[in-house]
Structure 1
Amino acid sequence: MAMSAREGQTFAHRGSRVVAYVNLVKLPHTVFALPFALVGVILASYRRPIHLAQVAWVVVAFTAARFAAMAFNRIADRDIDARNPRTAMREIPRGVLSVAEAWGSVIVASALFGFAASRLNALCFALSPAALLWVFFYSHTKRFTRWAHLVLGAGTAIAPVGGYLAVTGAWSRPWWMLVALAAAVMTWVGGFDVFYSLADMEFDRANALHSLPAKV
């Protein structure tokens, strides 16, 4: 079965479980979204000094949260992925990783995210469950709303807000600064996801899945 160029951006696992997990969540793609979190850190530096340890824990927290979200998405969408020629070669449909193994990675990554948040400050730790619940919720939205793209964007927008809170431990002054930053990230990511979903437009229509292109 042919794979699209995007889905083909994986490493040859040759039986390696580590590589299988890396491919499951497209781990190298973390570098494309990590700058959103670092923008929040840089913005916060105008209010409080940044420490290297804070930056390190922000990177760990973001990477762990993204890993958990991506792995959860692969679990939630495994039946859909198996029917879609573009995604049928992903690790779970192909049998490279079992659902139980994927769940194990979600649990470990979620725990690491919570620990990293606790190392930042009490506010980040208190908000960490809500952040995870939101990014997990996204995986189900294509089943009932065409606005799933914005839900994904809002999930990504947690990153700059979290980066800011990691340094300051408090909301921005003026209050609208973080709101504007989050809105910009949400619409940016949501817009790109609309373009990405064009590849699945006909499949989504045939399988009663929701996206803006499928509803046009």
Structure 2
Amino acid sequence: MVFNKVIKKAHDYGVLVMFSHTIFSLSFALISMLLAGNGMPPINKLIWILVAFLGARTGANAINRVIDAEIDKKNPRTSVRQIPQGKMNKREVIVFSIVCFLVMVFAAAQLNLLCLILSPIALFLMTIYSYTKRFTWMCHLVLGVTCAAAPVGAWIAVTGSISLLPLFMGAANTLWVAGFDIIYGAQDYEFDTNNGINSIPARFGVKNSLLISSFFHVLAMIFLVIVGLLSSSLGIIYFIGLAIIGVLFFVEHKIISPDNLSQVTIASYGINQIVSIVLLIFGLIDFFI
């Protein structure tokens, strides 16, 4: 009985923080880590990087659910989430978030001083994102910048410094995430406009927002190409992976339109999970061959 309750609670937390979406920034972080160290870092550093990443990502998603609980309750699409449904209460999720953030800061301290110094900035971004939809349509870009802390942070964790290459990797991560988040947000156009929620679809309309999303993904591809050109460790296999990603982007934007958003979840999440996996696999193969 106790075991079943533990399993159910673990499942609830996994759904709460959308654990399956961890891959979205993990691929960027791992590629950046390898490029920073010109190979696999020492095992203890690798472990702390992963701990910091998982702590940050899990805590950010959990606190987002708390901050957005009242909005989620009003929106028919999100009213089935754990907090609006009463399956989890805000207090326990807040405690869970705090623990995750403390784990992230502790892991940052084990990596190097710069990681520790910059950790409050990461915490600020992970918390403020959830409030941005209340005052700016640029919330999608704030989410992208928050996610981009993964590849930039991984580079700093290995080198203790910052350089141009991880910034290009972070820019690609930012625009990629912002692009598919706009697509996902398009389905809430009516709810957002009727309830004063800021988003690019609500500000510019669904048709224009899908064009903006496409533009962001084109820019993301350009930045990923620049990363490949700047790095001596990446070559033809990496660029083949980018070609596949380009095709996936094309399909992603082809299967949706202002008049047909029925495939929004597949376009925004399903295809982009594949994009992330392709980037990781082809990057790893190119790096180690």
Q: State the TM-score, normalized to the length of structure 2.
A: 0.66
- Residues 161-193 of structure 1: CA deviation (Å, up to 9, x unaligned): 000011111122xxx323222211111111111
**Structure that is richer in helix per residue:** 2
- Find out whether 1:203 has 2:195 as its counterpart: no
Q: 2:106 aligns with which of 115, 123, 138?
A: 115
Q: Which amino acid is 1:163 matched to?
A: A
SS in structure 1 opposite 2:114? Answer: helix
In structure 2, runs of 5+ residues without a counterpart are 205-289
C-alpha distance 18-49 of structure 1, shift in aligned 2 (>3 A): closer
- Find out whether 1:98 has 2:86 as its counterpart: no
SS in structure 1 opposite 2:188? Answer: helix
Structure with bigger RCO (C-alpha 8 Å, 6+ apart): 1
- Name the counterpart of 2:20: 28
SS in structure 2 opposite 1:117? Answer: helix
Q: How big is the shift at 1:32? A: 3.1
Q: Distance in 1 between matches of 2:7 and 2:192?
A: 33
Q: 1:188 aligns with which of 168, 176, 180?
A: 176
C-alpha distance 15-97 of structure 1, shift in aligned 2 (>3 A): farther
- Name the counterpart of 1:17: 9
- Find out whether 1:42 has 2:34 as its counterpart: yes
- Answer with 103-112 or 24-33: which moved more: 24-33
Q: How big is the shift at 1:28? A: 2.4
- Find out whether 1:178 has 2:166 as its counterpart: yes
- Name the counterpart of 1:158: 149
Q: How big is the shift at 1:15? A: 8.1
- Name the counterpart of 1:10: none
Q: How big is the shift at 1:80? A: 0.3
Q: State the TM-score, normalized to the length of structure 1.
A: 0.88
Q: How big is the shift at 1:16? A: 2.4
Q: How big is the shift at 1:14? A: 9.4
- Residues 126-182 of structure 1: CA deviation (Å, up to 9, x unaligned): 11111011111110000111111100000011100000011111122xxx3232222
Q: Distance in 2 between matches of 1:122 and 1:132?
A: 16
C-alpha distance 123-153 of structure 1, shift in aligned 2 (>3 A): same
- Find out whether 1:137 has 2:137 as its counterpart: no
Larger of the two Rg values belongs to structure: 2
Q: Distance in 2 between matches of 1:138 and 1:32?
A: 17
Matches within 5 A, 1:48-127: 50-127=41-118
- Residues 10-36 of structure 1: CA deviation (Å, up to 9, x unaligned): xxx898222221111011221332112
- Residues 47-81 of structure 1: CA deviation (Å, up to 9, x unaligned): x8611221121111111101111111101100000
Q: Which amino acid is 1:164 matched to?
A: W
Q: Distance in 1 between matches of 2:123 and 2:32?
A: 18
Q: Let me know the Cα RMSD of the aligned residues.
A: 1.8
Q: Report runs of 4+ in structure 1 exceeding 6 Å deviation.
A: none
SS in structure 2 opposite 1:16? Answer: helix
